[in-house]
Structure 1
Amino acid sequence: MARRKRFDDDSHENHERWLISYADFITLLFAFFVVMYAVSVVNVGKYKVLSDALGDAFGGRGAPNAGASVAPGKPDALPLSNIIAHKRLEAARRDRERLDLLARKLNSVLAPLVNAGRVRVTRTARGITVEINASVLFDEGDAALVGNARATLQAVAGLLKDDPHAIEVEGHTDTTPIRNAAFPSNWELSAVRASTVVRLFADNGVLEQRLAAVGRGANQPIASNGDPVGRARNRRVAVTILSGTE
């Protein structure tokens, strides 16, 4: 009886169980290729929507060739880079135009002093520099505003308060030494003069976050210190309205 039972078990053994494992393997392999294909194919419609959205965000209407076909697996990054480059160029152009207009207004407001050679308004790679002879603003060896200095600086502040650019105010002296209770050296004198101008700007509506005061002492002359005329030129305050691309 035992021998017959063993024979029955062997006769019912399933010799095709490997087909189940093989079918599972084929299914997984198919799923793998489906996923890989889905990842490699760019949805042109969705890409165009993304391109248009980016264009709107930067102020335009999509990429220049947003409707062009995109090869599967090779998204075209050129439209986005073109948008960014174009927007940068546009921003730089608008900034130049804004600074040019501001320079004209400053020249107009300061015309009497410009014509007298006591103020210079120049355009540089850094922005606009308004160079004011120290005698317009201060007594020699002092940092308190005198005469019409306050009105002059208030006129400048009126043009700057609604302008977005950062402003750097530099104080400069000649090489004549100064040593008194208030100013041990030309460093202190130049720094306090710059700070005096910055404080007046802030008091007249220019945001303090845009302002910086720098004392240069006698280290950046624009004329010779060997004669009175040159020393007078070197004693100055330079107000630089910094370009947005600085």
Structure 2
Amino acid sequence: MSKPKQRIVVKRISAAKHQAHGGSWKIAYADFMTAMMAFFLVMWLLSISSPKQREGIAEYFKMPLKVAISGGEKSSTSSSVIPGGGTDFTQVDGDDKRSNPDSADADRLKQLKKRLEQVIDANPVLKQFRPQLLIDITSEGLRIQIVDNRNRPMFDLSSAKVQPYMSTILHEIGPVLNELPNKITLAGHTDATPYVPGSKSYSNWELSADRANASRRELVSGGMTEQKVLRVMGVASTMDLNKADPLDPINRRISIVVLNRRAQAQIEQENSSGSSAGLKLDGQKDSAGQLRDSVPKPAAAAQP
């Protein structure tokens, strides 16, 4: 008998069809090319940058994101073990504003300057006199100068009588000066025109001093504390703004200086040390006089 034929089964496995990509690879490729372009752009910028610029770029990438966004110390200047981790209180920084009163005082004077400028800009009356108000920072502190104008004088001619607009300016400035404990000085300036009216004993020196004192009274009348005034003086025409023209009306002005702590301490120390020196000299003279009186005089020679 013949064997039955064995059935042959053929399995055909059909490959699963993938869904169409829809061009998503193009987006990935575009991102890759953009990143490469940015990379080569950065490399090119670094190649043409100076060493100082590269140092600044390196500092930027070292800086933590929190410090870069909210502000703070750079990693190169921070004393912390962790860059951007804050101040290391085990070290003492001599330049820290909290331990440097001069720096803090300078910041307060700058803020006062901004405050005065805001008051002037917000007040329609003061704003029209803005060209006659000069505000700047000097080595002594914050200086406010009210200068004269040919068509708008601050005082009556050859007089210390304050004009109404000048009185308005001083009344507005006075209360603002109370915002800082710093004391002030006032100086009156005239031009080089000789003072003609009156007796010979009255000159531009007396006139400038009287105008400075009249300005002090207006500041106090406007609300400034009287104890803030440390010195009032007249300097006549010795300090002209326009040195090329001593007769220029701009040379006639009132200068108010909000003293910084260093200038204030120096003036106070000079005044107190001068008084002490005077008392000491007087004491030495008295002692010397007593010593001279106590020395026995030689006996007079007998007459023949």
TM range (shorter): 0.5 to 0.7
Deviation at 1:136, TM superposition (A): 4.9
Distance 1:225 1:144, change over 3 A: farther
Highest Rg: 1 or 2?
Answer: 2
Deviations 1:76-125 (A, max 9, x none): xxx9xx5988577432232122111110121232342564x211111112
Whole-angstrom CA distance in 2 between matches of 1:225 and 1:243? 31
Provide the residue aligned with 1:125 in structure 2. Answer: 139
Q: How does 1:37-76 map to 2 (within 5 A)?
A: 65=90
Whole-angstrom CA distance in 2 between matches of 1:151 and 1:209? 21
Give 3-state SS (helix, strand or coil) of 1:110's partner.
helix
Fraction of identical pairs, as percent: 25
Counterpart among 161, 166, 189 of residue 172 in structure 1: 189
Whole-angstrom CA distance in 1 between matches of 2:117 and 2:239? 24
Of structures 1 and 2, the one with the larger relative CO (CA 8 A, separation 6+) is: 1
Runs of 5+ unmatched residues, structure 2:
1-88, 122-126, 264-304
**Segment drifting more, 89-98 vs 186-195:** 89-98
Deviation at 1:162, TM superposition (A): 3.1
- Supply the AA of the counterpart residue of 1:177: P
More helix by share: 1
**Segment drifting more, 201-210 vs 125-134:** 201-210
Deviation at 1:142, TM superposition (A): 1.6
- Supply the AA of the counterpart residue of 2:238: N
Deviation at 1:151, TM superposition (A): 1.5
- Supply the AA of the counterpart residue of 1:235: R
Distance 1:218 1:205, change over 3 A: same
Whole-angstrom CA distance in 1 between matches of 2:186 and 2:153? 15
Q: How does 1:92-241 map to 2 (within 5 A)?
A: 92-111=102-121, 112-113=127-128, 115=130, 117-134=131-148, 135-181=152-198, 184-211=202-229, 212-224=231-243, 226=245, 231-241=248-258
Deviations 1:130-161 (A, max 9, x none): 11113452123221111222111111002012
Give 3-state SS (helix, strand or coil) of 1:148's partner.
helix
Whole-angstrom CA distance in 2 between matches of 1:219 and 1:191? 13
Structure 1 residue runs of 4+, over 6 Å off? none
Alpha-carbon RMSD? 2.7
TM-score of the pair, normalised by structure 2: 0.49
Whole-angstrom CA distance in 2 between matches of 1:83 and 1:89? 8
Q: How many residues align?
A: 166
Counterpart among 101, 114, 123 of residue 91 in structure 1: 101
Whole-angstrom CA distance in 1 between matches of 2:170 and 2:95? 38
